[in-house]
Amino acid sequence: MRILPSAYRDRTQHFVNLNAHRPGQAASRVGDVWRIDEEIYDYFLEILPPLDWRGSSFLISEALAGDIHSAYFECDGSLYSGFVRRPAAHKQISEMCAFVRDGPRPDTQEKG
Protein backbone atom coordinates (compact mmCIF):
# COMPACT_ATOMS: atom_id res chain seq x y z
CA MET A 1 0.00 0.00 0.00
CA ARG A 2 1.02 3.57 -0.63
CA ILE A 3 -0.20 6.85 0.80
CA LEU A 4 -0.39 9.38 -2.03
CA PRO A 5 -0.32 13.18 -1.62
CA SER A 6 -3.31 14.53 0.28
CA ALA A 7 -6.20 15.95 -1.72
CA TYR A 8 -7.72 17.57 1.36
CA ARG A 9 -9.04 20.91 0.07
CA ASP A 10 -7.30 20.22 -3.25
CA ARG A 11 -9.65 18.83 -5.89
CA THR A 12 -6.92 19.05 -8.55
CA GLN A 13 -4.66 16.75 -6.50
CA HIS A 14 -7.52 14.26 -6.19
CA PHE A 15 -7.76 14.01 -9.98
CA VAL A 16 -3.97 13.74 -10.26
CA ASN A 17 -4.09 10.81 -7.80
CA LEU A 18 -7.00 9.18 -9.65
CA ASN A 19 -5.28 9.38 -13.01
CA ALA A 20 -1.67 8.61 -12.01
CA HIS A 21 -1.32 5.38 -13.96
CA ARG A 22 -0.28 4.25 -17.40
CA PRO A 23 -2.54 2.23 -19.68
CA GLY A 24 -2.38 -1.44 -18.77
CA GLN A 25 -0.96 -0.78 -15.29
CA ALA A 26 -4.18 -0.29 -13.32
CA ALA A 27 -3.48 -3.33 -11.11
CA SER A 28 -0.48 -1.51 -9.63
CA ARG A 29 -2.90 1.10 -8.20
CA VAL A 30 -4.68 -1.32 -5.83
CA GLY A 31 -3.87 -0.18 -2.30
CA ASP A 32 -3.06 3.42 -3.22
CA VAL A 33 -4.86 5.67 -0.72
CA TRP A 34 -5.03 9.41 -0.01
CA ARG A 35 -6.96 11.83 2.16
CA ILE A 36 -9.86 13.78 0.68
CA ASP A 37 -12.41 16.24 2.03
CA GLU A 38 -16.20 16.20 2.29
CA GLU A 39 -16.66 18.17 -0.94
CA ILE A 40 -14.79 15.50 -2.96
CA TYR A 41 -16.55 12.65 -1.13
CA ASP A 42 -20.00 14.16 -1.78
CA TYR A 43 -19.21 14.91 -5.42
CA PHE A 44 -18.27 11.30 -6.14
CA LEU A 45 -21.21 9.97 -4.13
CA GLU A 46 -23.55 11.94 -6.39
CA ILE A 47 -21.83 11.61 -9.79
CA LEU A 48 -22.63 7.91 -10.43
CA PRO A 49 -24.73 5.40 -8.54
CA PRO A 50 -22.57 4.08 -5.68
CA LEU A 51 -21.56 0.43 -5.74
CA ASP A 52 -21.21 -1.77 -2.63
CA TRP A 53 -22.28 1.03 -0.29
CA ARG A 54 -21.72 0.04 3.36
CA GLY A 55 -21.86 2.60 6.15
CA SER A 56 -19.73 5.51 4.98
CA SER A 57 -17.84 3.56 2.31
CA PHE A 58 -18.75 3.07 -1.33
CA LEU A 59 -17.16 2.27 -4.67
CA ILE A 60 -17.55 4.17 -7.90
CA SER A 61 -19.66 1.95 -10.17
CA GLU A 62 -17.42 2.55 -13.18
CA ALA A 63 -14.32 0.38 -12.88
CA LEU A 64 -10.83 1.74 -13.51
CA ALA A 65 -10.12 -1.59 -15.21
CA GLY A 66 -11.57 -5.06 -14.75
CA ASP A 67 -12.49 -5.43 -11.07
CA ILE A 68 -10.53 -2.37 -9.85
CA HIS A 69 -12.66 0.48 -8.52
CA SER A 70 -12.03 3.73 -6.70
CA ALA A 71 -13.33 3.63 -3.14
CA TYR A 72 -14.43 6.45 -0.85
CA PHE A 73 -14.53 5.89 2.90
CA GLU A 74 -14.27 7.37 6.38
CA CYS A 75 -11.54 6.35 8.81
CA ASP A 76 -11.26 7.80 12.32
CA GLY A 77 -13.18 10.94 11.35
CA SER A 78 -11.26 11.65 8.13
CA LEU A 79 -12.28 10.86 4.55
CA TYR A 80 -10.11 8.91 2.10
CA SER A 81 -10.09 7.61 -1.43
CA GLY A 82 -8.16 4.69 -2.84
CA PHE A 83 -8.22 1.77 -5.26
CA VAL A 84 -9.59 -1.67 -4.38
CA ARG A 85 -10.58 -4.90 -6.10
CA ARG A 86 -14.06 -6.34 -6.02
CA PRO A 87 -15.31 -8.53 -4.40
CA ALA A 88 -12.82 -8.03 -1.53
CA ALA A 89 -13.29 -4.26 -1.53
CA HIS A 90 -14.52 -3.79 2.04
CA LYS A 91 -11.77 -6.00 3.45
CA GLN A 92 -9.24 -3.88 1.53
CA ILE A 93 -10.89 -0.67 2.77
CA SER A 94 -10.44 -1.92 6.35
CA GLU A 95 -6.79 -2.68 5.60
CA MET A 96 -6.27 0.78 4.08
CA CYS A 97 -7.86 2.38 7.13
CA ALA A 98 -5.42 0.51 9.39
CA PHE A 99 -2.56 1.51 7.10
CA VAL A 100 -3.36 5.24 7.15
CA ARG A 101 -3.90 5.07 10.90
CA ASP A 102 -0.58 3.32 11.61
CA GLY A 103 1.51 3.86 8.47
CA PRO A 104 3.93 6.48 7.22
CA ARG A 105 2.69 10.02 6.61
CA PRO A 106 4.48 11.66 3.68
CA ASP A 107 2.16 14.69 3.73
CA THR A 108 1.72 15.69 7.34
CA GLN A 109 0.78 19.28 6.49
CA GLU A 110 -2.79 19.75 5.33
CA LYS A 111 -3.46 22.27 2.58
CA GLY A 112 -5.50 25.40 3.12
* Full-model pTM: 0.88
DSSP string, the chain: -EEPPP-TT-HHHHHHHHT---TT-GGGGTTEEEEE-HHHHHHHHHHS-EEEEETTEEEESS-SBTTEEEEEEEETTEEEEEEEESSSHHHHHHHHHHHHHHS--S--SPP-
Residues 6+ apart with CB under 8 A from 47: 60
Per-domain residue ranges of the chain: 2-102
**Considering Cα of 103, then 67, then 7, then 46, what sign does the dihedral take?**
negative
pLDDT in tens, the chain (112 residues): 999 999 999 999 999 999 987 778 889 999 999 999 999 999 999 998 899 889 899 999 999 999 999 999 999 999 999 999 999 999 999 999 999 998 765 554 444 4
